[in-house]
Amino acid sequence: MHGYPCLSILSQLAFIIPTYNDQAARVSSFAPSPPLVTTNRPPPPHFSSQSLFGRPFSTTTTPTATTPTSSSLGSSQETNASPTSSIRIGIVGGGIGGVSVAHALAKRLATTTFATTTNNNNNNNIGKTEIVVLEGDVQPVEPGQPPLWTAATARNANSIVPGAAMHVFSRPAVLAQVLQDTAVDWYRQQCTTLQGMVQNHPTIQKWVSSAGGANGTETSAATMFDTPPPYFACHLLRCVGPSATHDERMSFVRYLTQFLYATVWLGPAAADERGRVMCQLAKANRNLYLESVNANATLQAAVGHSQGFLSIHRSLAKAQNAVTEAHEHGEEADLLEWEQAVEAEPRLANIPIKDNKLHVVRRGNDYTASCESFIHNWIQESSAMGVQYLSGKVDGLQVVDSTTTASGGSNGKKKYRVKATDGSVQEFDLLVLASGVTTPLLASLLGVGNYCPTYPLRGFSLTFFAPVDDTKKVKEQENLLHQPFSIDAMYCTSVSTRMARLAGFGEFVGYRDKSASVPSLGPTVLSRYARSVFPDALHVRTEAALACFRPASPDDLPLVGEVPSMPGLFLHTGHGTLGWTTGLATGDCLAQAVVDHLEGRSSQEGAFTLADESTIERSTLSPSRFIPRAKRKSLV
């Protein structure tokens, strides 16, 4: 889910629905209680059955895993046998952030022969490196069975949208938007509550109608399309109030301070430049994605690959602006006539906006694909290259002296000691924090919270399924929706013959475990749009909307690189609403930084080389950009 909320307010929305063409008929009805089946996806990968860390390591039991193919990736048994001869790299977080780093690192290390050592006093070749990904949210399937990786956040992400990547939230207009949306959100919540009271109490209902009241129709389904729903909501009390822990509160304060700095102090020109960098990352990401799916037809089918995206605007000026912006960034974009848009995606005709006042931009080079299925595939691939995927939720981090000299004394080297909630412990020479929204809290455990001012941004996704019989009407390998599209900052996508999904909203409501009780318009609005665009999906339940949290960066750019005050600690997070759009590219950047560190070069100077051979200054993405310049110099 990406993009800005629409600001324009067009009043009349009733849309004269054109007759369906033949293609539209194929998706005409939905099952009353759809089974959660996808027709063409591989099963998610399993984690190691001996997966609780602290236990003796075993090589991964991922179904397609083979023994490590690369001589530079040592097996776990070898590690235990000779701990000093192997560099252990721990990656906390098995989402797109962690898996993309593991995959890129495994590929790079497979072809790297280290010239120097960072792990002992001799200049021997290291020869072996072990990569371990620790994931805290894997689901046990049945007793005795290895747990499944579920891709909690990534499963929401479908579209790779370089065209939208240029949009950055850290602008003065968005600051105003957050305030306005928060007020509108509050007002509409009150309306909804009052409506509920009216409907539930016949006496009040009688009073309202006798006084000429509309019985709650002001917020009823049809008219609610007249204005775009609010996108943002900020529940300040949840972010800094008593329900937040000290570290959670501090992470909000850091986020807000840096957001204001980027937005107000650095100003619009810097925001434009950040938009350019986002776009560059998105293009490189697209290259990596296409390289993978073009080389593997099974993967391409599994991810529900499709090309092209329709972005719908409520004013012509905004649509024209979107085209100009895309062209400025070298992306394809053209304005469609409404009839052309409906031909491209017949379901657009169902949107109940009055007077056809919608303007559609087609972006030919955006792609839609299931991030979840893609990441499952990269887990399988990297497992085959020797990466170990272990289950365990990290709740303790410590820097310790590694006592590896022959006399048992300290050799002056540091290690990262990682503790899981079950009390088990592992040690790593290098540590990558890629745990999504919890990364700032883990960074705080090591005293480097200032380097990670990211904050959770809640969003929602609602998935609905076509009945089994209807699948027969759909041509094989075609997605349920012809063309994915966005409207009012909600993304409607499909990556299989059976499903479609609406996703959107950006809410500051604190951290996940305490925010379930914070109300949102999101689920109601998503289900309202879903019922309109998919009129037969009457079973769509508001409660089925899934809340998910994205790691938002205060200046929109992801955090990629080593923490200068803590050598060997790397951050890979802050992808916000665009983790699928940029995460593969930044994962490769982080792998470059890690390899540089291992080879004794500076991981922070110079530029990253992206998959399309373009370069980005490392300082642009470095976590040290949040530290005042004067202090920064003394740390590097």
Ligand X SMILES: Cc1cc2nc3c(=O)[nH]c(=O)nc-3n(C[C@H](O)[C@H](O)[C@H](O)COP(=O)(O)OP(=O)(O)OC[C@H]3O[C@@H](n4cnc5c(N)ncnc54)[C@H](O)[C@@H]3O)c2cc1C
Interaction site with ligand X (CB under 6 A): 1, 92-98, 134-137, 152-154, 156-159, 393-394, 434-436, 438, 459-461, 491, 503, 548, 550-551, 573, 575-581, 583
CB 287, min distance to ligand X, A: 15
- The angle, 0 to 180 degrees and rounded to 10, between the axes of the packed helices 202-210 and 172-200 is 110
Q: Shortest distance, CB of residue 421 to ligand X, whole angstroms?
A: 8
Residue 301 neighbours by CB distance under 10 Å: 18
> For 84, which DSSP code?
G
CB of 491 to ligand X, least distance (A): 6
Q: Which is nearer to ligand X, 389 or 465 (CB)?
A: 389
Which residue, 117 or 483, has its beta carbon nearer to ligand X?
A: 483
Q: Which is nearer to ligand X, 347 or 419 (CB)?
A: 419
Is the Cβ of residue 101 or residue 342 nearer to ligand X in the bound state?
Answer: 101
Distances, alpha carbon 433 to alpha carbons 54, 101, 159, 394, in Å: 19, 10, 25, 11
In terms of CB distance, is 136 or 467 closer to ligand X? 136
Q: Which residue has the tokens 């409506």?
A: 195
Structure tokens at 254: 């850091």
Q: Round to whole Å and give the CA distance between 584 and 436.
A: 14
| Distance of closest approach, residue 375 Cβ to ligand X, in angstroms | 9
The conformational region for residue 390 under phi > 0 = left, psi -120 to 50 = alpha, else beta, is beta
Nearest residue (CB) to ligand X, 93 versus 275:
93
Residue 73 tokens read as: 């990736």
Radius of gyration of the chain (CA): 25
Structure tokens given for 340: 């052309």
Rounded to a whole number of angstroms, the minimum distance from the CB of residue 280 to ligand X is: 15
Q: How far is the CB of 453 from ligand X (least distance, A)?
A: 15
Least CB distance to ligand X at residue 412 (A): 29
List of residues 6+ apart from 208 with CB closer than 8 A: 198, 215, 216
Listed in sequence order, the residues at least 6 apart from 111 whose beta carbon sits closer than 8 Å to its beta carbon are: none
Q: Which amino acid is at 14?
A: A
The residue among 39, 110, 119, 112 whose CA lies nearest residue 79 is 119
Considering beta carbons, is residue 72 or 426 the nearer one to ligand X? 426
Contact criterion met (CB below 8 Å) for 624 and 632: yes
- Which amino acid, residue 95? G
Residues 104 and 588: beta-carbon distance below 8 Å? yes
**Least distance from C-beta 20 to ligand X, angstroms?**
27
Provide, rounded to whole angstroms, the least separation between the CB of residue 477 and ligand X: 21
Six token digits for residue 513: 């475990």
Stretch (H or E) spanning 427: strand 425-428
Show Cβ contacts of residue 421 under 8 Å, excluding neighbours closer than 6 positions. Answer: 136, 392, 393, 394, 395
Q: Which is nearer to ligand X, 74 or 484 (CB)?
A: 484
For residue 13, the minimal CB distance to ligand X (Å) is 25
Whole-angstrom distance, CA of residue 288 vs CA of residue 302? 17
One-letter amino acid of 188: R
Please identify, using beta-carbon distances, which residue of 354 and 393 lies nearer to ligand X: 393
Q: Which two tokens stand for residue 606?
A: 């110079």
Closest CB to ligand X among residues 68, 583? 583
- Sign of the Cα torsion 268, 269, 273, 279 reads positive
DSSP class of residue 55 equals: B
Question: Rounded to an integer, what distance in angstroms lies between the CA atom of residue 208 and that of residue 90?
Answer: 62
CB of 581 to ligand X, least distance (A): 3
Residue type, 298: T
Q: Which is nearer to ligand X, 72 or 515 (CB)?
A: 515
Q: In this complex, which beta carbon is closest to ligand X, that of residue 426 or of residue 565?
A: 426
208 or 433: CB nearest ligand X: 433
* 226 close to 354: Cβ distance less than 8 angstroms: yes
Q: What are phi and psi of 426, to 5 degrees?
A: -135, 155
Which is nearer to ligand X, 1 or 24 (by Cβ)? Answer: 1
Q: Please tell me the distance from the alpha carbon of residue 426 to that of residue 393, in angstroms, as a whole number.
A: 12
Shortest separation between residue 529's beta carbon and ligand X, angstroms: 14
Collapsed DSSP state (helix, strand, coil) of residue 419? strand
- Please, what is the minimum distance in Å from the beta carbon of residue 148 to ligand X? 12
Cβ atoms of 294 and 303 closer than 8 Å: no
Query: In the complex with ligand X, which residue's Cβ is closer, 280 or 435?
Result: 435
CB closer to ligand X out of 99 and 174? 99
Question: Distance between CA 232 and CA 506 in Å, rounded?
Answer: 5
Can you say whether the dihedral through the CA atoms of 522, 482, 463, 582 is positive or negative? negative
- Alpha-carbon span 600 to 101, nearest angstrom: 19
Whole-number minimum distance, CB 152 to ligand X, in Å?
A: 5
CB 133 to ligand X: min, Å: 9
Report the nearest approach of ligand X to the CB of residue 495 (Å): 10
Q: Strand, helix or coil at 412?
A: coil
